[in-house]
Each structure stands twice: as structure tokens, then as C-alpha cells.
Amino acid sequence: MNRHKGSGQLIFLLPVLIPVVMFSILPLLRGIYLGFTDYQLGGGIKFNGIDNYIQMLHDQYFWRSFRVGFIWTITVTAGQIVLGMVLALLLNTRIRLISIYSVLMLVPWAMPPVVRGIIWRHMYDPDAGALNMVLMSANILDKPINWLASFEYAIPAVIIAGIWGEIPKAALFLLAGLKSIPDDLYEASRIDGAGIWNEFYHITLPLLKPVLAAIISLSFMWNFNTFGLVWVLTQGGPGGLTRLPMLAAYEEAFRYGYVGYAAAIGNVMVIIVSLVLFTYLRVQYREQVLS
């Protein structure tokens, strides 16, 4: 009854494979192909090679959306990892109430992204929002700011809401990683009189590397492909300032009907994410081999 080779496996896997192939893999391949056509909603499909990509080179909306996409992805990923790490370290101590803290911290993650957007819209509301209220009663502001409609503050405002929603995921993941580090390692270093920072740098961080690499890669992909939160917060505004790549592609396909072009944007997103991940994981791997 040990591990067989055999056709038996296929029977068990078929119920998984059929829907996955039909509703995920086939449409995906078709979508990649559409990125090389001039397909518009309702029209015919004609292969046009790399025309879409040449058009992209001159499309300033495309460049703007990828620029803000990078700013968004890098700051949100960095913010959620750094803050998530601090939170995980705090939660990995033996103090009272820890189980309450660990449940409370999940709140943002558990919310539907649409609700996250709705909440933060009210936090940033110029008239009745909490942020203006707090800043004005602390005399930091003397008149309310319309955060989400301002060219200066819209991007930071969206990023802060984004980090808020993603911290729990990072913290939960890293906390589980911290728990897997044996206590005696720390005890040994404490006898040697190592400080907290030294301990973190020489024990925690190296041992956490695989977990860190995994959560950074996943977060990078997820953040680059975000849609719901920003859609509800700004719909890409003001003036397209916060139009992330996913929002740009959605508008091309479903508002203007340029499906071929939208798919081409999707293809470029896949290539960029794969390149970044490949480079990152290579550097990671090399470091591990060297050390």
C-alpha cells in the first residue's frame, strides 16, 4: 500500500483537474493569447503580434499606472513586512492578554476588501472623517483636508489604508515562523550576554529567512494585483493618480471594451512580477549558499 505509480491517482485528481483546466487554465491561456490580438468587446479577434506592446510604449496612461503600481507595491509590501515583524516580535513574548491581542490584530484582514475601502473613505472624509477630527483637535491642522481628492495626499492615504489591511497577514505568518525557533538558542546567547538587537540580527533574522522570503514574494504578487480596496477608495482618482495596473486593465476591458489591450497589460504585469520574484529569490538563494 505504499506509494504506487499508477492510474488510480488520476481518478482521484480528475474532479480537481476538470474544473481547474476549464475555468482557470484554459481561460488563462486564452487571455495570454488575447494580449496579442486587437480584440474589442463585440468585435472579431485578429492576431496583431506585438502592436499592443508598441502602443503601450507611447501610452502615458500605461506608464503612469505602472509607476504608481510600483510605488504602491513596494511601499505596502515593505510597510507590512516591517510593521508585521515588529508586531510578531511583540506577540512572541510571554506577557498577559497575548491571546486577545492576537485575535484583535486579525480584524483588518478578516474584513472584505470592499468594506476596508468603505471604512477608510470615512476615515478620510473631509467633513465627517476621523482623521481630520483627530488632527484638528490636536491642533495639527487648522482646516480639514480632502485627503483622497488631493494630488499631494491621495497616494500616501491609499498606501496607509493598504498597509493597514495587510499587516495581519504578515504578522501571523512571521509569528508562526518565530514560534518555530527553539528557545534554547536564545538562552545560550543570553548567557553570552548578547543584547536584544544582536539577538535579533544574529539568531532570529537568519533562521526566519525562508519564511521571510516566502511572505515577501507572496505579498509582492498580491499587492501588485490589488483591486477592490483602491477601487472603492478612489476609483483610481484624482485624475488617474491612484490608478493601479489592475484598475487600468479593468477600465480598458470593461469600460472602453479594449480587451486585447487589457490582456496585454495583464501580460506585462505577469512578466514584471516574475522578473522581480526571480531576481529576488536568486539573490536570497545566493546569500544562503554563501553564508
Q: How far is the CB of 3 from another protein (least distance, A)?
A: 5
Q: At what angle do helices 113-123 and 130-137 cross, to 10 degrees?
A: 30
Q: Which is nearer to another protein, 168 or 236 (CB)?
A: 168
Contacting residues for 142 by C-beta, under 8 A, at least 6 apart: 136
Closest separation in Å from C-beta 51 to another protein: 18
Q: Confirm if 126 and 132 have CB atoms less than 8 A apart.
A: yes
Cell numbers that stand for 201 in this block:
540580527
The span from the CA of 108 to the CA of 141, in Å, is 27
Minimum distance of another protein from residue 262's CB (angstroms): 6
CA 79 to each of CA 4, 42, 76, 124, 161: distance values in angstroms, whole numbers, following the listed order:
47, 43, 5, 20, 11
Q: Which helix (H) or strand (E) holds 20?
A: helix 8-20
**Distance (Å, whole) CA 274 – CA 77:** 16
User: Could you tell me which residues come within 8 angstroms of residue 207 by beta carbon, excluding any fewer than 6 positions away?
Assistant: 181, 185
Least distance from C-beta 243 to another protein, angstroms? 13
The candidate with the shortest Cα–Cα distance to 59, out of 265, 276, 225, 275, is 265
Cβ-based nearer residue to another protein, 230 or 241: 230
Q: Which is nearer to another protein, 10 or 290 (CB)?
A: 10
Distance CA(154)–CA(234), nearest Å, equals: 8
Residue closer to another protein by CB (options 130, 188) is 130
Cα–Cα distance, 36 to 46 (Å, whole number): 9
Dihedral pair phi/psi, residue 43, rounded to 5°: -95, -175
Shortest separation between residue 166's beta carbon and another protein, angstroms = 11
User: What dihedral do alpha carbons 162, 165, 167, 170 form, nearest 10°?
Assistant: -100
Smallest gap from residue 63 Cβ to another protein (A): 18
Between 72 and 173, CB nearer to another protein: 173
Minimum CB–partner distance for residue 32 and another protein (Å): 7
Closest contact distance (angstroms) between CB of 275 and another protein is: 11
Task: Record the cell numbers describing residue 266, joined without a space.
Answer: 495583464
Q: What is the DSSP string of 91-126?
A: HTS--TTHHHHHHHTTHHHHS-HHHHHHHHHHHT-T
The residue (of 58 and 96) whose beta carbon lies closer to another protein is 96
Nearer to another protein, 116 or 243 (CB): 116
Select 123 or 241, whichever has its Cβ closest to another protein.
123
